[in-house]
Amino acid sequence: MLNITHNTIKDKKALNNLKSFQILNARSISRKLIKTLYVLGFICLVVLFLPWTQNIRSMANVTALKPNQRPQNIHSIIAGRIEKWYVQEGQFVKQGDTILFISETKEEYLDPKLVENTEQQLKAKELTVKSYFEKVNANDTQIDALIKSRVLKLEQAKNKLIQANLKVQSDSIDYSASALNYKIAKDQLVRMEELHKEGLKSLTDLEARKQKLQETQAKLISQENKFIGSKNEVLNAKIELQSINADYNDKIAKSESDKYTSMSNMYDAEALVSKLQNQFVNYTIRSGMYYILAPQDGYITKAIQSGIGETIKEGAEIISIMPYDYELAVEMYVNPMDIPLLNKGQHVQLLFDGWPAVVFSGWPGISYGTYGGTIVAIDNFISENGKYRVLVARDKDYPAWPKEIRLGAGANTLTFLKEVPVWYELWRQINGFPPDYYVHKTDNTKHNKSDDSKK
- Position 5 scores a pLDDT of 58
Ordered by start, the domain boundaries in the chain are 53-68+326-454, 72-104+290-322, 114-288
Which pLDDT score is estimated for 93? 92
Instruction: Write out pLDDT tens, residues 16-37.
Output: 666 666 666 555 555 677 788 8
Threshold 0.85, pTM exceeds:
no
pLDDT at 15: 58
Q: Is residue 422 within 8 Å of residue 54, measured between CB atoms?
A: no
- How far is 336 from 434, CA to CA, in rounded Å? 10
Residue 453's pLDDT is 36
- Does domain 53-68+326-454 sit in CATH 3.40.50.800? no
* Per-residue model confidence (pLDDT) at position 365: 61
Q: What is the mean pLDDT of the chain?
A: 80
Q: Which residues of the chain have pLDDT under 50?
A: 1, 442-455
Q: What is the pLDDT of residue 419?
A: 64
Say how many residues make up the chain.
455
CATH 1.20.200.10 assigned to 72-104+290-322: no
Q: Are 349 and 401 in contact (CB under 8 A)?
A: no
Res 410: pLDDT: 87
Encode burial over 224-242: b for 16+ CB neighbours within 10 A, e otherwise.
eebbeebbebbeebbebbe
Note the pLDDT of residue 232: 84
Question: For position 454, what pLDDT does the model report?
Answer: 37
pLDDT of residue 94: 92
Q: Which homologous superfamily is 114-288 in?
A: Helix Hairpins (1.10.287.620)
Question: 171: closest CA among 217, 232, 130?
Answer: 232
